[in-house]
Amino acid sequence: MVCLGVHAGAGIGLLPGGLLGDRFGRKKVLPASLALFGLGSLACAYSPPPGAFIAAFVVLGLSDAFVVLLSLPVLTVLFSETERPLAVGVWAAANFLALPIGPILGG
């Protein structure tokens, strides 16, 4: 049940995250998303009833979708055209490794 909440939050958050990043600027939305992720993590850690935990986990999934979505365009600004393929490769490898390792270590 909890996994469904996170995946629903992550799936729902992709389009609004891109829209907010385009409308208000990625430089403002990305730190706000990171702060929301931290608050969602705290809410997950200190939520006693299961319903509150699931709601906090959905917030965590939404903010995670925003962070992942908005972090890739940052690479295009930070790296030159020759360095960009390596930077995107490292970003993709980190995400590829974090997806299975995160639930194992955090679960």
Q: Could you report the per-residue pLDDT of 50-63, keeping only the tens digit for each?
A: 889 888 888 888 88
Q: What is the pTM of this model?
A: 0.74
3-state helix, strand, coil in the chain (%, to 5): 90, 0, 10
Query: What DSSP line would sit under 33-79, residue for residue?
Result: HHHHHHHHHHHHHT--SHHHHHHHHHHHHHHHHHHHHHHHHHHHHHS
C-alpha to C-alpha distance for 66 and 33, rounded to whole angstroms: 6
Low-confidence ranges of the chain (pLDDT < 70): 1-11, 107
pLDDT for 7 equals 54
